Amino acid sequence: MIKNGRVNNEFLAHEAYLNSIIENYDTTGENFGNQDRNSLKLFDLNGLTINVKSFKIPNLVNQIAYRFFRKSKAQRSFEYANRLLELHIGTPQPIAYFEYKTPFLYKKSYYMSAHLPYDLTYRELTTDLKYPNHEAILRAFTRFTFSLHKAGVNFLDHSPGNTLIQLNGGTYKFYLVDLNRMEFGTLDFETRIKNFARLTIHKSMVEVMSDEYAKLSGYDYERVFNLMWAETEAFQYRFHRKRRLKNKIFFWRKK
């Protein structure tokens, strides 16, 4: 098995320990969050909590693609995190990534970052519409998203669980996680508004985000809202259609 990766310059003195984390990942560390798709574990480095994401082995087609043609999710996460920080956009500090390959196939990969304490994610805003200062946080989140777009960042996984929020007594701070799907460059109007499509099913939240984004961008509110709501409904339709199809194909998995 071929192993490669990269360690952030600030953590090169701890490279041996970071390697030992990967080599003993299955039997050490503290499980964190949902373990269904990929594994997340926490480790201690001299008082600093490290968050390590172990990506599952991809299917055979992607094993070939990642081996020869595409950067891995771990590598992209590391590189995109560094790029976000250069743009002064919040994300947990990247520490390292590691990959395992055979001569012809791509296997396991790991992404390490500093574990960031947070008060909530965007998801809580969608499940509790009476969350304290709900509208203020939602408007601040919209301003954060506008700053992404202004910086030329199209976060393709802009979904409820992928933005961590620190409240800080009303000075809200936002941090992106799950970074492996991003595009960089000038964003047109449609791309900007479509970026909100996966965030909520609640029309009232779309109205608030549309209002704030229109104020920031100078776009007409009705134009922003009509497209944002249309893209939200279209995403929900595709999501539920895909789920129904999956349930039909994999009917034996039902409980």
Domains, the chain, in order of start with CATH, read 2-114 (3.30.200), 120-243 (1.10.510)
Res. 253: pLDDT tops 70:
no
Structure confidence at residue 237 (pLDDT) = 81
- pLDDT value for 246: 60
pLDDT tops 60 at residue 47: yes
Distance CA 160, CA 101 (A): 32
Give the pLDDT score at 2.
85
Cα angle for residues 239, 245, 250 (degrees, 5° grid): 120
Comparing C-alpha atoms, which of 141, 139, 144, 231 is closest to residue 193? 231
Taking only the tens place, the pLDDT of each residue in 93-143 is 999 999 999 999 999 999 999 999 999 999 999 999 999 999 999 999 999
Question: Is pLDDT of 1 > 70?
Answer: yes
Averaged pLDDT score across all residues of the chain: 92
pLDDT interval class at 38 (50, 70, 90): confident
pLDDT surpassing 60 at residue 64: yes
pLDDT value at 80 more than 50: yes
The backbone region for 226, taken as left when phi is positive above 0, alpha when psi lies in -120 to 50, beta otherwise, is alpha
pLDDT at 255: 46
Distance CA 123, CA 162 (A): 9
| Percent residues over pLDDT 70 in the chain | 93
DSSP code at position 58: P
The β-bridge partners of 112 are: 52, 96
- The pLDDT of residue 251: 53
Q: What is the mean pLDDT of residues 35-61?
A: 90
